[in-house]
Structure 1
């Protein structure tokens, strides 16, 4: 046991062998179990589990054997079985603190708060003098919502731990821990809405609180809630002086001095802040979002002019919040154009101003390019970014902006070429490297992106392994989406599973904090971490991966994916026999090449290591085989996260509806439809198709249910929906009439007409005003309807998009003009 604790595993195995070689101790249960635990620590899991079970069978009443068995199960992530093993260990050794502590950690990991509270109470009873015993019991009560008990336990602990000033000064760590407990108690009072008591409690213990920012933030917020603005002003004034770059401090200080509604008062307040903190941008930016009229014009002119003179590349980003207001946006455009005319003619921004730096004009071009890109006027955006490049062709930000314009315009190949150019100008810039990788992946150049990423990954390992180890989620999800678009479903599933493994590791890593936070007293942050962990899979990368995986499994189940070619069956229907044969041949060559590479890697690994190379559980072929055998079961595993953790996320609920429809689960279908209506409303274009699809088949689905109670519940739920809509034909017609001016809404009406109603009259529905909609909406519309008006509208809105007929091999006209004017020959 000592060797295990000191991680001297070989010595531990030698001692175990010495004991077990004695004929009298061959079946000694505790030794067998400890040998299994040591092997588990050495990653020999199968052998470890076998020895742990054998040791338990030899001594069923040993707390040590049950404890070791629980530890081995925990390492295998079989948490529920491990809890049972720990509970049995406690039965035989109910005073063993280590077993109780491990049991409590597993219970909090599984969010069994009642059992966690009992275990912490047992630990407190065994060791009432131990600080962690009190803290753990208080946290258990807090998590269960028993806030009064939690506060009282902590207060009782603090009174028993009171020290003299001399003792406290000698124990600095204890001072910090006491400070954390006080702030945690204040947090409990705030959760109880006892704001007055929280203020009194904090003021009573002011001298013992060492976290000054947290103290003033908490008291300032409480003062604002209680309407004590004068005292709140003192707290936030101190905080602003400590950190003049934190936006929330300005906003709350403005609230305290009542500078939130009157424009003159707002102007006066932020002028004072700007004078007090001349190097901070926030006092200049925040009022631009609040005020309007003459005050706005004056402040905007001052900020815009000073930013241009400083040659700031992020002017558009900082002013993005005002773009929601069309009046402010137009005024900003007019101001920028007026400055441009003056700079081009007189090299000054206004009459009477001094001559400006030449760089000022470059960054004004840069701003206007970003501005018109935001307005989707890509021709003007490219014009200004090309003018900037003609002026100074060595600024990497200009190439990044140009690439972004091409991306928004629908030509990701040109976008990737621009980012490649930017990256070549500064190969040591990690941001440019990552940005270029992202664009290359979106352009379908995954291998090229991996080679570029190698510049910043660790040596002596593959780039895929290194990125997976470093949990570079943006790279993984971009690869997953690229493979999904290319029809390489095995590789896409592999990337999705790697992303899921990252989140599983994040959940697993909680174990490191259950003990640490109890010792270090970071209680408030610990509780926040637990609550955050409960919703960690709501993060955008996981949701995107889950959506890709569910869609892949659904398409495989529907037969809309060809396993021979790895492409969409609907897309291949338009190919000739020769093209289809060529596609199959290409797929076979790629598979053969990959097989040879895998065999080569295995041989190299076998040479380096004496141990045989383990089989990869995420092998794309293996994942595809599982998908073909049980597609809906695999889709359900992914979709349950979307259903439970992201009930408000529209794409997730649409996917949940489609999966439930194929699994013949009408309850889940109805739930998804209700969630879509409740959270997004019937006016949302993306909701319309799913609602109509449910209405069209609900009666048939309900009639097929044999159980009368179930049938009645479904009928009642369907009745509520139909009361809002009516039958599909009349509802779809009315929906078109109400939303005739919106292209995204007309597109969904056309989808319903073609897929649900089986109508051929699509062109008359989809034609109309084409001013709104994303490039994906227009791609879908062109695929759905061959309307010439729609195609022409798509070409005019996205003239650089290859899908709508733009040239793909040569640079577009504007890029040619720029290259010729500089005497350059840039094939990109």
Structure 2
């Protein structure tokens, strides 16, 4: 007791109350716990541990700010108390501030080195932060304290594994297994441990030992996962070069004849590949055809054979494959084979086979063979051909085929859906949305059709109308359908609505949704915290290691990359032109859609505030629950986010993870340059451009940045003494000093005169070089020549650039683009677009006989209460 500060020692009665306080907190009897803390503090107001515990209780009762202040005060009152530091760590952990939490736990362990709870929490935080050196030390300490707990042995082995010390991990497992006695039969936890041990031996390259351990434990039924046994065994036999490997892979193929991985493993074991141009293609094809004969109902070997085959051999194989799918009416047939379209010869053969099938299945001229064919085969053939032509850019042909198919069967939703896709690709966004609505009306309770229709409305910029559709299947008590989908972490919805707002020019709501995507990935990273303890308790070690690997690369997801790029561009635009953010606050400058969105967001915020009050009231009336109020969104329309004082820093933080995960993505490198050069991080900017040049030296956006970087480096009044020569050298590598910017730009145009994106890049450089506007306009209009490969996306980008430079020829370019893309509506005047928008919202064109039973605002049954999009 001599080492305990006098201020911490409590009399017997208060000491008993303090122990009761700890129990009440652990059992979440928060109201009683608060009263108990007040009883102690009434007599001992400077007792740090009680002060901290009271603060912890308050944070769980929804009074976070007051609670955190009390915890900080308690720590100051008793800096040498492990309880105070532990509580402070719990506060930081609750706020997901893991680094600070670990610092607090480290301090707590200075005063109580063998506290199991603190050590376990510290180990989880070290794993979360990937501090594997410290994790090994912490796991060692836990094992020394409780060597009888097998979980601590496995946790130490995993810690060594994560730290790259595989040999030490193996030694720990060997010692652990030597202590085991009387393991029950078919013990799942022991089975997972053995599988992990085999995996560890495989990673060490000890294939013989791994195979021996696998066989012994498989025969004794210690490993109960039979599929895992077969897969690992086949893999190990292949690595050992054993003659038994072929049989092992064949057993796997027979076990699951639709697994592409098993066929690839079988071929790899024989030294064969699926490369159509490789020298082993004939042997690989023979093996796959043998499997097709032996397992006639399996589609995987027949589909893989199409990847390898070529010429007439491909025709012989693809014809029965296509006819089988068309006769069965497989809607996903085109999605299955579109990977073959990179080969133009295969494209042509597929088209010929499909056209022959159409003639064969057509009932216009009945024949003996046609009499045996179902009428639906003809319909699905038209469906396939429409997708075929659309994928090749033949939109008019695709629409002609779809009109014939709809005349044949107007009640098939897939036909309306693919027609909507064709129209969207052709540039008729409102027409595409209308067709998706036609499909939705054919089955009012199908959430997939509802999702598609909402998605196409978002593509057409109809945000409010899309939200109305999404509300049919979201929670009725949610503030808005969008709020429910955001809670459900629907990346599809968040990205699509953000893009819709951006296309509409509403940068605040767009940025809000893009940052919501970033929050989803933050949650993904935070959610792994609970698994650090759970997976070790349940001994699901291999899956846990796979989870950590996945989490390390979670931000390589396409949705994050797209959102991070879009958000960073908005932040850069706000930095370049602060009036963008200022205009967003001026209510008089808001469009009708913006005003409506702002009013709706305000109502949602008010509803959330009311719900928060109800939750807080419920918490105060319930001793056993500590409910925190719902988070109030004080920036529902993204205005404050748009007006942030550090837009470049926020953009840099979004792009930072992509430096590793998307280093081969030239768009990421260009965005990194844009942010770095504005932050005056010139070395980082030059490095990004150098990497981009290594990927595609002729990329249009890189061409613009090369010129811009030369101008930036040249304009530096006083280049940094150390970096000055490096920057000059980097700039010279990207654009030689002896070449003038005008010459560099004209040479680029000569090389890429047939590329519309390159023409736009040249025009942007001309503006930077202060070229007369008339010359810039003439350059841009060359994109409309028949020789230039102009698409709708680039035409819209050129139109936006003409608007930026205030060109009087904007309407002229719009008219000519509309004539060039006849099926497109995006180039029509605003009045015509408004009419098309209303038409897209009208009653469907094709309605089944029972349409009156499915009203547009039909409420789905109670069984359809699951989230719409996940």
Q: In structure 2, what is the equivalent of residue 143 of structure 1?
A: 162
Query: Which of 301, 311, 315 is equivalent to 1:283?
Result: 301
Q: In structure 2, what is the equivalent of residue 7 of structure 1?
A: 28
Question: Hey, what's the Cα distance between the residues in 2 that align with 1:716 and 1:450?
Answer: 53
Q: SS at the partner of 2:471?
A: helix
Most deviating of 273-282 and 503-512: 273-282
Measure how far apart 1:283 and its partner are. 2.1
Tell me, yes or no, if structure 1 residue 684 matches structure 2 residue 705: no
Distance 1:784 1:63, change over 3 A: closer
Q: SS at the partner of 1:393?
A: coil
The superposition leaves residues 454-503 of structure 1 with CA deviations (integer Å, 9 ceiling, x where unpaired) of 22112222323211211111111111111122222221222123222222
Question: Hey, what's the Cα distance between the residues in 1 that align with 2:588 and 2:62?
Answer: 47
Q: In structure 2, what is the equivalent of residue 732 of structure 1?
A: 745
Measure how far apart 1:543 and its partner are. 2.1
Measure how far apart 1:598 and its partner are. 6.1
Query: 2:561·2:658 contact (CA, 8 Å) conserved in 1?
Result: yes
Query: Which of 647, 655, 664 is equivalent to 2:680?
Result: 664
Question: Hey, what's the Cα distance between the residues in 1 that align with 2:381 and 2:515?
Answer: 45
Tell me, yes or no, if structure 1 residue 799 matches structure 2 residue 818: no
The superposition leaves residues 162-189 of structure 1 with CA deviations (integer Å, 9 ceiling, x where unpaired) of x35xx432xx4xx322332232233333
Question: Hey, what's the Cα distance between the residues in 2 that align with 1:360 and 1:811?
Answer: 35
Measure how far apart 1:45 and its partner are. 1.8
Distance 1:721 1:400, change over 3 A: same
Measure how far apart 1:287 and its partner are. 0.6
The superposition leaves residues 132-152 of structure 1 with CA deviations (integer Å, 9 ceiling, x where unpaired) of 222222122112211111121
Question: Hey, what's the Cα distance between the residues in 2 that align with 1:258 and 1:603?
Answer: 65
Question: Hey, what's the Cα distance between the residues in 1 that align with 2:679 and 2:348?
Answer: 52
Distance 1:584 1:531, change over 3 A: closer
Query: 2:85·2:108 contact (CA, 8 Å) conserved in 1?
Result: yes
Query: 1:632·1:659 contact (CA, 8 Å) conserved in 2?
Result: yes
Question: Hey, what's the Cα distance between the residues in 1 that align with 2:378 and 2:38?
Answer: 80
Most deviating of 480-489 and 85-94: 480-489
Distance 1:64 1:389, change over 3 A: same
Give matches, 1:423-462, under 5 Å: 423-462=440-479
Measure how far apart 1:606 and its partner are. 8.1
Question: Hey, what's the Cα distance between the residues in 1 that align with 2:591 and 2:141?
Answer: 68
Measure how far apart 1:581 and its partner are. 12
Query: 1:490·1:620 contact (CA, 8 Å) conserved in 2?
Result: no
Measure how far apart 1:563 and its partner are. 5.0
Q: In structure 2, what is the equivalent of residue 521 of structure 1?
A: 539
Distance 1:789 1:326, change over 3 A: farther
Q: In structure 1, what is the equivalent of residue 247 of structure 2?
A: 234
Consecutive unaligned residues of structure 2, counting only runs of 5 or more, are: 1-21, 274-278, 618-627, 803-808, 850-855, 857-870
Query: 1:19·1:31 contact (CA, 8 Å) conserved in 2?
Result: yes
Question: Hey, what's the Cα distance between the residues in 2 that align with 1:598 and 1:393?
Answer: 40
Q: In structure 1, what is the equivalent of residue 344 of structure 2?
A: 326
Tell me, yes or no, if structure 1 residue 374 matches structure 2 residue 391: yes
Distance 1:188 1:43, change over 3 A: farther
The superposition leaves residues 322-371 of structure 1 with CA deviations (integer Å, 9 ceiling, x where unpaired) of 111000101111121222234336667x9856542211111111111101
Query: Which of 331, 343, 350 is equivalent to 1:313?
Result: 331
Query: Which of 229, 235, 239 is equivalent to 1:215?
Result: 229
Measure how far apart 1:244 and its partner are. 1.9
Query: 1:365·1:384 contact (CA, 8 Å) conserved in 2?
Result: yes
Q: SS at the partner of 1:512?
A: helix
Q: In structure 2, what is the equivalent of residue 93 of structure 1?
A: 112
Question: Hey, what's the Cα distance between the residues in 1 that align with 2:506 and 2:639?
Answer: 12
Query: 2:385·2:401 contact (CA, 8 Å) conserved in 1?
Result: yes
Q: In structure 1, what is the equivalent of residue 724 of structure 2?
A: 711
Question: Hey, what's the Cα distance between the residues in 1 that align with 2:767 and 2:394?
Answer: 33
Query: 2:512·2:638 contact (CA, 8 Å) conserved in 1?
Result: no
Distance 1:275 1:493, change over 3 A: same
Greater relative contact order (Cα 8 A, min sep 6): structure 1 or 2? 2
Question: Hey, what's the Cα distance between the residues in 1 that align with 2:94 and 2:125?
Answer: 12
The superposition leaves residues 282-302 of structure 1 with CA deviations (integer Å, 9 ceiling, x where unpaired) of 122111111112221111111
Measure how far apart 1:100 and its partner are. 0.8
Q: In structure 2, what is the equivalent of residue 17 of structure 1?
A: 38
Tell me, yes or no, if structure 1 residue 224 matches structure 2 residue 245: no
TM-score, length of structure 1 as denominator length: 0.87
Distance 1:299 1:602, change over 3 A: closer
Measure how far apart 1:193 and its partner are. 4.1
Q: SS at the partner of 1:435?
A: helix
Q: SS at the partner of 1:280?
A: coil
Measure how far apart 1:658 and its partner are. 1.5
Most deviating of 89-98 and 629-638: 629-638
Consecutive unaligned residues of structure 1, counting only runs of 5 or more, are: 568-579
Measure how far apart 1:318 and its partner are. 1.0
Question: Hey, what's the Cα distance between the residues in 2 that align with 1:454 and 1:587?
Answer: 19
Give matches, 1:741-760, under 5 Å: 741-756=754-769, 758=771
Tell me, yes or no, if structure 1 residue 392 matches structure 2 residue 427: no
Say how many residue pairs are matched. 794
Give matches, 1:74-93, under 5 Å: 74-93=93-112
Q: SS at the partner of 2:722?
A: helix
Query: 1:553·1:627 contact (CA, 8 Å) conserved in 2?
Result: no
Q: In structure 1, what is the equivalent of residue 18 of structure 2?
A: none
Measure how far apart 1:583 and its partner are. 5.7
Measure how far apart 1:376 and its partner are. 0.6
Q: In structure 1, what is the equivalent of residue 530 of structure 2?
A: 512
Most deviating of 742-751 and 509-518: 742-751
Question: Hey, what's the Cα distance between the residues in 2 that align with 1:392 and 1:587?
Answer: 38
Question: Hey, what's the Cα distance between the residues in 2 that align with 1:691 and 1:196?
Answer: 55
Give matches, 1:648-659, under 5 Å: 648-659=664-675
The superposition leaves residues 201-239 of structure 1 with CA deviations (integer Å, 9 ceiling, x where unpaired) of 4345443332222232233233334443x3222222222
Give matches, 1:465-484, under 5 Å: 465-484=483-502
Q: In structure 2, what is the equivalent of residue 46 of structure 1?
A: 65
Question: Hey, what's the Cα distance between the residues in 2 that align with 1:198 and 1:179?
Answer: 14
Measure how far apart 1:639 and its partner are. 3.3
Query: 1:121·1:137 contact (CA, 8 Å) conserved in 2?
Result: yes
Query: Which of 115, 129, 146 is equivalent to 1:110?
Result: 129
Distance 1:716 1:596, change over 3 A: closer
Query: Which of 784, 789, 793 is equivalent to 1:776?
Result: 793
